[in-house]
Amino acid sequence: MDRFVLDFAHTLAGFMVLVSFMLLYQDRMFSLLNVFALQALVLAASVAWQAHVQDAPHLYVTALIALVLKAIIIPIVLHRVVVRLGIHRNIETVGGIGLTMLFGMGLVALSMVVMLRATAAADPLAREDLAFALSVVLLGLLMMVTRRNAVSQIIGFMSLENGLILAATGAKGMPLVVEISVAFSVLVALIVIGVFLFRIRERFDSVDVHALDESRGERQ
């Protein structure tokens, strides 16, 4: 295969990992949303490149869904949610950024080791993409674990889902039906979570999940 094709695919996937790291340390809501939009943009580019390389026109649809839904609609909706919740000026305390970043690096190394070894016989294009995709998934999960604000947790969840799409497209794509249904389920999740955010807020005057725990009478 052409070296350039490979290198460019890896650059895009690697860029997604980089953006995931950027997500980890954003402590302001708007910049978090912007970085998330950036990640979706990179995802769309990566998927489009895969469509071009694999000569699979349905992947263009996937790329388009990623672009419209994740790079435009979801950030805008969340943006408005954040404004309506009045938390756009809040600074979220993300404890121990250095430690989190180090842990994230460990995760990337781990996924490289696991994936490169497990897929030794696979197509080189899919191989490294899978490793990057697993890194993105793990970093998204890490973000969900380290954040306390519900909106940031949603972003973590969405970025995790980006990783899954990246993996799926790298491995010769998944059927379009599956892709579309996943996209819609993300959309539904957004709506449901949005509704819940307001309900939580209404009840606890905060979207810090810590408040939920306190209401259950739990010690932190």
Partner 1 sequence: MDNVSLALMCVAALLATAVLGVLVRRSAAASGLVYSLCLILSLAILAVAASQLLGGAGATEITRLPIGLPWVGANFRLDPLSSFFLVVIDLGAAAASLYALGYGRHEDAPERILPFYPAFLAGMNLVLLAADAFSFLVAWEFMSLTSWALVMAHHRDPENRRAGYIYLVMASFGTLALLLAFGLLAGPAGGYGFADMRVAVHAAWLPGLVLILALLGAGSKAGLVPLHVWLPLAHPAAPSHVSALMSGVMTKVAIYGFVRIVFDLLGAPVWWWSILVLGLGAVTVVLGVLQAVLQRDLKRLLAYSTVENIGIIFIGLGLALAFQANGMTGAAALSFTAALLHIFNHSLFKGLLFFGAGAVLNGTGERDIEKLGGLIRTMPQTAFLVLGGCLAISALPPLNGFVSEWLIFQAILVSPDLPQWGLKLVIPAVGALLALGAALSAACYVRAFGIGFLGRPRSPAASSAHEADRLSLAAMFMLLGLCVLAGILPGFLIDAVAPAVREAVGHAMPAQASLPWLSIVPVAESRSSYNGLLIFAFIVIATLLTVKSIHRLASRAMRRGPAWDCGYPEPSPLTQYTADSFAQPLRRVFGEFFLAREKVTMPKPEDPLPARLEVRLRDLAWDMIYFPIERTVALAGEKFNALQFLTIRRYLGLVFAALVSLLLVVAIWA
Tell me the one-letter amino acid at 18.
Answer: L
Interface stretch with partner 1, choices 34-42, 80-88, 107-115, 181-189 (CB under 8 A): 107-115
Here's the x/- map for partner 1, 57-96, by CB under 8 A: it reads as ----------------------------------------
Q: Which residue has the tokens 């010690």?
A: 219
Q: How far apart are CA 161 and CA 98, in angstroms?
A: 25
118 binds partner 1 (CB under 8 A): yes
Q: Which of 4, 55, 117, 205 binds partner 1 (CB under 8 A)?
A: 117
Q: How far is the CB of 140 from partner 1 (least distance, A)?
A: 10
Q: Which of 26, 39, 111, 135 binds partner 1 (CB under 8 A)?
A: 111
What is the DSSP code (8-state) at residue 206? -
| Residues 171-210 close enough to bind partner 1 by CB under 8 A | 209
Instruction: Return the exposure string of 15-26: e unless at least 16 CB atoms fall within 10 Å of the residue's CB, then b.
Output: bbbebbbbbbbb
Q: Which of 141, 176, 180, 182 binds partner 1 (CB under 8 A)?
A: 141
- Alpha-carbon torsion 46, 155, 28, 198, what sign? positive
Coil/strand/helix, residue 122: coil
Q: How far apart are CA 7 and CA 187, in angstroms?
A: 32
Q: Which of 23, 107, 136, 165 binds partner 1 (CB under 8 A)?
A: 107
Integer CA distances (angstroms), 181 to 33, 37, 43, 157, 167, in order: 24, 21, 18, 17, 16
Q: Which of 9, 24, 82, 138 binds partner 1 (CB under 8 A)?
A: 138
Q: How many residues in the shown chain lie near partner 1 by CB under 8 A?
A: 19
Q: How far is the CB of 5 from partner 1 (least distance, A)?
A: 29
Q: How far apart are CA 114 and CA 110, in angstroms?
A: 6
Q: How far apart are CA 133 and CA 125, in angstroms?
A: 12
Q: Which of 99, 101, 113, 188 binds partner 1 (CB under 8 A)?
A: 113
Q: How far apart are CA 25 and CA 23, in angstroms?
A: 6
Q: How far is the CB of 138 from partner 1 (least distance, A)?
A: 7
102 binds partner 1 (CB under 8 A): no
Instruction: List residues binding partner 1 (CB under 8 A).
Output: 107, 110-111, 113-114, 117-118, 138, 141-142, 144-145, 148, 209, 212-213, 216, 218, 220
